[in-house]
Structure 1
């Protein structure tokens, strides 16, 4: 959406990197399946647990097999959560060179975005109503929710991006409308329930099926297994960049993550804080090439 010299994928390619871009399952770009159709409930029976266990793993394996090289990984938002959870289980590390995590999401206890909280906390009701695909674009149930939210006094939905991401400082205004032509994309309602569980409990755990018997059936224990961020090996090269105005990757939640990484090797952890940045600035900011991508490239070069 931005100019090539402002876009990370082009910058990486221009610097000689092989660039592979993955689409999350359920989006308009990734709705294929070997046997199921999107109209079937089973198609949407997943959360980010499956994105980690199957999709991210398959992506790493494909790139590794095709190139014969280990990967530098770049994740933004949910892409950071699945990577951190994988690393905490010491998965994928045999194919990893380093990871850059922009707007890192791990803990969601604060989550200052009013719209994100509304969407997460209504997800359980939608699920029990039989709405298994959370479709922000064209779904009647979600459209009704957005209408109700936008009619709330003090909420201005003329700019729908800000209530979700925070007040982005550095977007090209012409890009915002184009951004809304593509985003937000569909996901599984069950995935939102999983994120709501994280926001409510302040923990990072696998999906909670709501009772001990079902959890026993899935996990062999009465409560869901926890992803322990402190278990990420101390020598994994990590670049974390977060913003002071971000409504999804809240500063206090990032501090909890950093506390879990306090024993990380000093030369393997780069932490960047950008006070004026919100969630979308990291991927669409017109100055992100200078503020974020230049240090990110330097990090890649030494790893």
Structure 2
């Protein structure tokens, strides 16, 4: 009863506050300056963003007009969805793989400045994946998303099972065997796993891999998250906590939490600053890149669910530092699964026939440019023909939400135009 009363009070206060807005009857939900969020209903620097509650299909329809939806089933029976922004006589085919805690929406959430739309307007056929467990990819042949068994996956399974089926589907529909794979963060991790474990398919399907902000090695990471991974006993204690409570999804009851977040961010704007501060500690200190008009949009809308196993796997990699390895189940279980006490390293030496282009930022404290250099050095020489790109000024999240993110998009488009003229 108390919770219901508080929730209704918050809703009432939010509606009351926004209803006096002079710029839109639905209330302003974006401001050009942070301080204006405290007077959003009357400030001339605030406005109503109609895209706030639109998901990927709606945004594509609004800014590109036409889209196609494809469902497919993976080898381990997850039912996933991809969206396509088609092009007649395209210059090439590009698959965009999204990072952790979001879905394909992240690639279309900056209106006409979004990476997906920039690439599409440049003449490319665009495919957008939605990872297992996120909105549009929540189904399974015989498991429900509320079950613990459903969430028993990491980015390992995405690279091993999901991406091969995505590539098969794209090739079938486009007849193109020269696909450009673009991944950011976890989209790069799963892409590297795919390239390592499915090298034969890669050889006949992929023109090039473009990995942005690659979480692979964490030898030089100074992120708050990486520091936690090195705390004595933290990863193992968290693993025990997750196992004892039988936790699968990191954010249970996600739709409820998202709706409450929307209300709280509008009612108490100080929360936007607090969340942004925490994100900066984890991704890199670039407060000058914060785009106030996108804050409410990004924090309350883009968030999607993911598994505890993904988080635990990343913590293991952070603790290992310079070893890109499979999930560590403990010595006893490792012997049963891998026939060795230690989890095997991913065989990146298998990636010998397809170029890999790495993009990193000096200001990214989570996936540092030095760690990108380490990966570049360990990749087979035949994959390094295009070199790598190191930028400054962007943290790990700024590739999507930073003020200067479009600059990266232009560099990316220039690179793709060179290999797919």
Q: TM-score, normalised by structure 2?
A: 0.62
> 2:205 corresponds to which residue?
95
Does residue 105 in structure 1 map to residue 215 in structure 2? yes
Give every structure 1 segment of 4 or more consecutive aligned residues whose post-TM-superposition deviation is greater than 6 Å: none
SS in 1 for 2:243: helix
Say if 2:226 and 2:318, in contact at 8 Å, map to a contact too.
no
Does residue 186 in structure 1 map to residue 270 in structure 2? no
Say if 1:86 and 1:92, in contact at 8 Å, map to a contact too.
no
> 1:127 corresponds to which residue?
243
SS in 1 for 2:139: coil
Q: 1:129 to 1:117 in 2, by over 3 A?
A: farther
Q: 1:251 aligns with which of 366, 369, 372?
A: 369
Take 1:85 and 1:158, find their aligned partners in 2: how far apart are those partners?
Answer: 31
Shift of 1:183: 4.2
Take 1:198 and 1:91, find their aligned partners in 2: how far apart are those partners?
Answer: 26
Shift of 1:251: 2.6
Deviations along 1:20-62, whole A, 9 cap, x unmatched? 1111111233211111112211101111111111111111111
Bigger RCO of structures 1 and 2 (CA < 8 A, at least 6 apart): 1
Q: TM-score, normalised by structure 1?
A: 0.84
Does residue 163 in structure 1 map to residue 281 in structure 2? yes
Does residue 172 in structure 1 map to residue 291 in structure 2? yes
Does residue 204 in structure 1 map to residue 332 in structure 2? no
Q: 1:192 to 1:65 in 2, by over 3 A?
A: same
Structure 1 unmatched ranges of 5 or more: 140-154
* Number of residue pairs aligned between Structure 1 and Structure 2: 284
RMSD: 2.6
> 1:229 corresponds to which residue?
348
Structure with max Cα Rg = 2
Say if 2:217 and 2:318, in contact at 8 Å, map to a contact too.
yes
Take 1:9 and 1:171, find their aligned partners in 2: how far apart are those partners?
Answer: 21
Does residue 298 in structure 1 map to residue 407 in structure 2? no
Say if 2:155 and 2:310, in contact at 8 Å, map to a contact too.
yes
> 2:115 corresponds to which residue?
8
Does residue 269 in structure 1 map to residue 386 in structure 2? yes
Shift of 1:77: 0.2
Take 2:297 and 2:402, find their aligned partners in 1: how far apart are those partners?
Answer: 14
Q: 1:33 aligns with which of 140, 150, 160?
A: 140
Q: 1:22 aligns with which of 121, 129, 132?
A: 129
Does residue 285 in structure 1 map to residue 402 in structure 2? yes
Structure 2 unmatched ranges of 5 or more: 1-108, 258-272
